[in-house]
């Protein structure tokens, strides 16, 4: 390769270009009509626009997918198909908003609103009255196990409250006092689920800091909130002899 000099049109980052060491390097802005620039076709003035737009769109998609409440931050001029994917719509009931307290592992809890999953056939919606605090909640809030991997985490897996809504196939009744432990979902079909060992199911979902593995997807959020929706098989009816406050301690590590 023979050349008197190499002209770099620096649209983005000059450091990414490789130049042979035996050739002199001359840097000239692409917008100046120098003689050297005229020796080759002048680059289109707005070549930066398309990559920049693609980057912005991808950033919004990922922000919406992993942090559902960030949809409020997306400007109205962004098209609807960018702000919410079909998968995200399947994992959220936009007609309902639950209010809780969440942590990002920085040692504090902040107000956090989210849309729950749509109420499935076996699901129950529980109006929470009591929730215990476990050491795992403290570790999560303080970030001692690392930052929450699925966005803000609503702790609390010793949940007690009354059933406020039920799915079409739920065995619960509205008004039942129920308790929810550390697990809220499993596949229901594997050898473990069929032998009362659902806590070993590979598709299990923990009450906090986890994601659902079924077709609807979505994050799991715990009992530091006003309400929660879970699979009714993991909501246990509290006997009338036990108070709601006492019931929360009985499900500390129950699947």
CATH number at residue 233: 3.90.180.10
Nearest to 88 by CA among 72, 68, 118: 68
Domain co-membership, 111 together with 211: yes
- H-helix segments, the chain: 35-38, 49-66, 80-83, 86-90, 135-141, 244-250
Domain co-membership, 173 together with 108: yes
How many separate domains does the chain show? Answer: 2
d(CA 249, CA 134): 10
d(CA 63, CA 95): 21
Domain co-membership, 115 together with 233: yes
pLDDT of the residue at 189: 94
Whether 243 is in a domain gets the answer: yes
Q: What are phi and psi of 142, to 5 degrees?
A: -85, -5
pLDDT of the residue at 63: 60
- Reported pTM: 0.65
d(CA 9, CA 3): 16
pLDDT of the residue at 7: 39
Mean pLDDT by 10 residues, the chain (255 residues): 39 41 44 44 58 77 53 41 48 93 95 96 97 93 92 95 96 96 94 94 95 93 97 94 86 61
Domain co-membership, 24 together with 108: no
pLDDT of the residue at 21: 47
pLDDT of the residue at 10: 35
């Amino acid at each position: 390769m023979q050349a008197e000099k190499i002209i770099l049109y620096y649209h983005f980052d000059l450091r990414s270009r490789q130049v042979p060491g035996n050739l002199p390097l001359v840097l000239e802005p692409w917008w100046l009509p120098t003689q050297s620039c005229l020796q080759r076709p002048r680059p289109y003035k707005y070549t930066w626009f398309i990559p920049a737009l693609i980057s912005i769109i991808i950033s919004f998609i990922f922000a919406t997918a992993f942090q559902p409440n960030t949809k409020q931050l997306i400007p109205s001029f962004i098209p609807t198909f960018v702000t919410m994917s079909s998968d995200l719509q399947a994992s959220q009931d936009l007609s309902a908003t639950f209010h809780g307290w969440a942590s990002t592992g920085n040692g504090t809890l902040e107000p956090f609103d989210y849309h729950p999953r749509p109420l499935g056939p076996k699901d129950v919606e529980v109006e929470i009255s009591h929730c215990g605090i476990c050491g795992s909640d403290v570790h999560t809030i303080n970030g001692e196990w690392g930052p929450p991997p699925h966005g803000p985490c609503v702790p609390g897996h010793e949940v007690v409250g009354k059933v406020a809504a039920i799915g079409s196939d739920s065995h619960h009744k509205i008004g039942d006092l129920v308790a929810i432990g550390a697990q809220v979902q499993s596949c229901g079909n594997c050898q473990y689920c069929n032998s009362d060992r659902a806590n070993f199911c590979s598709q299990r979902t923990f009450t906090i800091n986890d994601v659902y593995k079924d077709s609807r997807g979505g994050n799991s959020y715990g009992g530091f909130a006003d309400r929660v929706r879970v699979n009714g098989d993991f909501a246990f009816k509290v006997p009338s002899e036990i108070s709601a406050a006492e019931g929360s301690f009985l499900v500390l590590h129950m699947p």
